[in-house]
Amino acid sequence: MITLDQIEKNQRGKIVAIDTESIPLKLIEMGCLPGNEVYLVQVAPLKDPLYLVIDGCHLAIRKETAKHISIDLIS
């Protein structure tokens, strides 16, 4: 298990756990929940933010926020 800020471009994972006190409610409402699949599409030139697809929603989140989302990689 790793955190979301550690995955690389084009990797997929399944969300295992989230720290609900550290991530914005908007992310939870958009599908950032345990059991949902996450895919890293692109990383900004300065490595922050991350452009992701989570459960069909396209999101850009900061690395600081991604550190509070635990995932298991999908091969």
pLDDT tens digit string along 14-53?
999 999 888 999 888 888 999 999 999 999 999 889 999 9
- Please list the alpha-helical segments (H only) found in the chain: 25-29, 63-66
Q: Where are the domains of the chain?
A: 2-74
Q: How far is CA 63 from the centre of its chain?
A: 9
pTM of the model: 0.88
Whether 56 has a pLDDT exceeding 90, the answer reads no
Q: Answer whether 34's CB lies under 8 Å from 66's CB.
A: no
Question: What's domain 2-74's architecture?
Answer: Roll (2.30)
